[in-house]
Each structure stands twice: as C-alpha cells, then as structure tokens.
Amino acid sequence: MGAFKETKFPADAPAAKKLMGWVDDRFPATKLWNDQWGKYYAPKNFNFWYIFGSLAMLVLVLQIVTGIFLTMHYKPDAGLAFASVEYIMREVPWGWLVRYMHSTGASAFFIIVYLHMTRGLMYGSYRKPRELIWLFGFAIFLCLMAEAFFGYLLPWGQMSYWGAQVIVNLFGAIPLIGPDLSLWIRGDYVVSDATLNRFFAFHVIAIPLVLLGLVAAHLIALHEVGSSNPDGIEVKENLGPDGHPVDSIPSHPYYTVHDLFGVSVFLTIFSAVVFFAPEMGGYFLEYNNFLPGDSMKTPPHIAPTWYFTAFYSVLRATTSDFLWVLMVGIAAYTAFLWMKSKLSSMVKIAVSVIALAMIVGMVPGALDAKFWGVVFFGGSVVILAFLPWLDHSPVKSIRYRPDWHKYVYAGLAVSFVALGYLGTQPPSPIGTIIAQIATLYYFGFFLLMPWWSEMGTFKKVPDRVVFHAH
C-alpha cells in the first residue's frame, strides 16, 4: 500500500479550501461533484423537455421527506389507519400541509415521469448507447407504480380498500396458481389488517430503497455515456482542443441556473394545487376515499387513480368479443413477421409458437377474457421496455424524421390519453369500443415500429447542434 500523502496548502490559504482538501484526501467529494454535475458536460441545446429529470429527483426527495413526517403520526392498523390520517389533517401542526404535499406529490411524480418518458420517445433518448438508461428508467417506472399502489391502501378509505381488492383479485385470473397467489399477496381471504401491514412495509421501506438504488444506477449510466439532445447528435464525436465536446457546456453553473428556474415554475404550480385544489376534482384524491373503508359496502364505481387508468382501460377493453379481433391480429402479425422480418428463423419459430398458444388460449372455453385482460394490461406496460430494439429509424430525433411520423406519434398520445380518460369513467358500450380501437393502436404502434420507423424520407441530421444562444 502506498504511503498516505496529505495535500499541502500555503499557511494563508482559505480555511474552507484547507477543509475541502482534508476531506478530498480521504473521500473523493470534489471528484464526485465534478464527475456527476460540476464538470459534467451536457449538450448546450437542451430545451423545456430536459427539465423533467431534475424535477423527478426533486419530487422523489419531497415524497421521502413528507413521507417520513407522515409515518410519525400514521397508524398501520385497519382499526386506526383512517382516523390517524384524519388526525394528521386536523390535529397535527402543519399535518394537513405535509399530507397534501405527499398526495399531490404522487400525482406530480407521474405527470413528470410521463413527460420525461415522452421526451425519451420524441428524441429517441433510449437509442444506442442509452439502452440501459432507458431500462433503469423502465424499472423505476414499475417501482413507482408499485409504490403508488401500496401507498394508496394506507388511508384505508373506500377507494383504498376496494381498489386494492380489485387489483389483488386480478392475480386470481392466472390459471392454476391465481387464487393462491391472491391469497398470498393479501395474507388473508379479503383485504384486511394483514394486507395493510405488509403494504405499509413495502411502501415505506422496501420499494423506496429499490427506487433510490435504481435512480442512482440511472444517473451513473447517463453520466457514463453522456446526455443526448433534441437534435439526437452525439456531441462527443466533436471534441474541442480542451477535450470537451464543442457543443457542450458544464452543468454547473449553466444547467444549475436552468434547472433552478424550472424548479421555481414547478413549485409555483405545485403550491397552487396543494393550497387551492389538493383534491383536483377527485383526480388526485378521490371523493370516495373520504369515507372509511367498509368491507360490507362496495362502491358502485371503482376506478384506480388517474395515472393507472390508461393501462386499466386496456384490461377493461379485453372483452370476450374483442378476443376474436385479437386472434385475427395475432395471426396477421405472425404472418407479417414471416414475410417481412429479418429476424432469424429460430426467433420467428419461437414467436409463432407463442402466437399459436395465445390463439388457442383465446378460443371460447379455453382461458377467459379476464385472464387475457390481465395479460394485455401487463403487456401494455412491459412493451415499453423493448423500445430501444423496436425503433429502427436511421435518426434519433423526431426533428429529422419524415413529417408523417409526427402523426403516428400524435396518434399514440391521443390513444393513451383516450384510454386514460375512459379508465376513469364507468364502462359504457361506446367507451369500450373506443378503448378497443385505442388498444389496437397502442400495441400496433410498438409492434409495427420496426417497419414504420424506417419508412419515409428522412431529413439530413446536421453535424453540429442547431442552437444559437441569444
């Protein structure tokens, strides 16, 4: 082991500098700061869409801090939980603020993350070499969904109770193991005190730990390969004499200021919601959840919180009639794959076997529509993970794609929002048909992406980013 060498400073050096030197000799504080932010060179042409990563980090911290204070007064006991939340709202000093920040923060988190993912989609941020950033992001998204689901049971209101009941019962649709699996998740025959206790454990410690680890991995991967930008140009391919990309600027102070501005705008909107509309018309806090959970009274309309409803709509759209459409769709897709795909025969055979199994399983009398609903519900989330390998476009950014690609993307946005809206409404015949069309579009977008993404006339991608400071 080499001898320990202490950095020497002149006697009149500032005390802060000496202290930092002392720390740096023992812990790479300055190096970490410079690698991860201070001297992390990021493309100079970031726009509005690049603020959401920082905002997601802010909201993560906000949720953890407010969550810690809520835990000080909350009681994870089926007989006490509802009243303990009311106690926080009415008796605990500033308790109402902490609780509203946490409940608004949950919705804000999803708004931010959906916008962050939309940016990824528009500018092809998930493309090589950023596949792992995307996959870590996808895992974060799964954790966030689990975190929100577990947290929603805690206030033990009517929606908490029945929402958990419905979602846990979905696992019951899995053949053979389903009923036992639901029982195992609940820890009881119905959602009960045992369920509340385990959901509490997952919500306050298990999932947040995983989430923090994944966010660290997400950022380490990002800083390893460097950020992309709205032009989709690899700035590292054009280095200046100082060894830094000519089209990049150090994050500090430039993006520090940029992000602080974004944070101020966000906090203004966030505060307006917290102080003036924390229920957000029943979307952020559902009215039924102001009634204590009652296992003897099923509410007439049970819907998950808005951020789950797009996927939930896919589940509801899978009716037994719709299975016929899906069977035809799966058969057509498999035939198309054999004719058009460059995949190896082994992969094509594997896909065909899966497709055949699905079609056989959809025949009346085989597996019921509820089971397939759960499969497509899960599939609509999981398909996002495959995006880096589905997109075959020769350019990354939507800016240089053929104009009609923009309509294809707009169609996805419309389908997703339509599914989301319909999922908040009680089912209706026309709503179901619209949800079915939107479901077909949603899956079609991703499954046909390897073909449509390389079709059309692409614009020439410039060598340097097209951004001029004012």
| Contacts with ligand HEM, residue ranges (CB under 6 A) | 50, 52-54, 56-57, 60, 113, 116-117, 120, 123, 125-126, 130, 133-134, 137-138, 140-141, 215, 218, 222, 227-228
Q: Which is nearer to ligand HEM, 59 or 164 (CB)?
A: 59
Q: Which is nearer to ligand HEM, 115 or 325 (CB)?
A: 115
The residues near 345 (Cβ < 8 Å, ≥ 6 apart) are none
Q: Which is nearer to ligand HEM, 141 or 284 (CB)?
A: 141
Q: Which is nearer to ligand HEM, 122 or 159 (CB)?
A: 122
Shortest gap between Cβ of 151 and ligand HEM (angstroms)?
15
The radius of gyration of the chain from alpha carbons, rounded to an integer in Å, stands at 25
Distance of alpha carbon 304 from alpha carbon 307, whole angstroms: 8
Shortest gap between Cβ of 147 and ligand HEM (angstroms)?
10
Q: Which is nearer to ligand HEM, 44 or 186 (CB)?
A: 44
Q: Which is nearer to ligand HEM, 141 or 400 (CB)?
A: 141
Shortest gap between Cβ of 235 and ligand HEM (angstroms)?
11
Shortest gap between Cβ of 138 and ligand HEM (angstroms)?
4
Shortest gap between Cβ of 166 and ligand HEM (angstroms)?
25
Shortest gap between Cβ of 217 and ligand HEM (angstroms)?
11
**The token pair that represents 402 in the structure block:** 């053929």
**The token pair that represents 33 in the structure block:** 């700061």
334, 355 Cβ separation under 8 angstroms: yes
Distance of alpha carbon 194 from alpha carbon 191, whole angstroms: 8
Q: How many C-beta atoms lie closer than 10 Å to residue 264's C-beta?
A: 9
β-pairing verdict for 41-43 and 248-250: antiparallel
> Which amino acid, one-letter code, is at 323?
L
Q: Which is nearer to ligand HEM, 113 or 358 (CB)?
A: 113
Q: Which is nearer to ligand HEM, 133 or 204 (CB)?
A: 133
Shortest gap between Cβ of 422 and ligand HEM (angstroms)?
23
Cα–Cα nearest to 439, from 460, 458, 412:
412
Q: Which is nearer to ligand HEM, 61 or 277 (CB)?
A: 61
Shortest gap between Cβ of 462 and ligand HEM (angstroms)?
17
Q: Which is nearer to ligand HEM, 372 or 442 (CB)?
A: 442
What is the signed CA dihedral for 181, 379, 56, 45, rounded to 10 degrees? Answer: 160
Q: Which is nearer to ligand HEM, 259 or 286 (CB)?
A: 259
Shortest gap between Cβ of 149 and ligand HEM (angstroms)?
16
Shortest gap between Cβ of 55 and ligand HEM (angstroms)?
8
Shortest gap between Cβ of 229 and ligand HEM (angstroms)?
7
